[in-house]
Amino acid sequence: MSKAKHRKDDYFHVNKNLLLLLISIVLVVIGFWVAVESSRDCRVIEYQDLQGTHDMTVCKGGDK
């Protein structure tokens, strides 16, 4: 009986570690994405042509 209970505790312990690892990876990816996005210098340019008015986003940096 105690071996089965011990195995069940190990299973939950492994699941908790995998969950923490997954959360850590997600936070690292989000942090990296925010850093890349904030390092770009973007501005929206509005221009007109024969079809009407258009908006164009121009970014400097981040692509190098």
What pLDDT, on the 0 to 100 scale, is given for residue 64? 42
Please state the domain count of the chain: 1
Model confidence pLDDT, tens digit, residues 3-44: 656 666 666 667 888 889 999 999 999 998 888 777 777 788
Q: pTM of the predicted model, to two decimals?
A: 0.46
Q: Which range is least confidently modeled, 38-42, 45-49, 53-57?
A: 38-42
The range of the structural domain enclosing residue 16 comes to 2-60
Phi-psi region of 39 (alpha: psi -120 to 50; beta: other; left: phi over 0): alpha
Burial of 64 (0-12, 13-18, 19+ CB in 10 A): exposed
Write down the pLDDT at residue 52. 86
Residue 26: predicted pLDDT: 95
What is the rounded CA–CA span in Å between residue 31 and residue 39?
12
Name the residue with tokens 């770009």. Answer: 40
Check if the beta carbon of residue 53 is closer than 8 Å to that of residue 46: yes
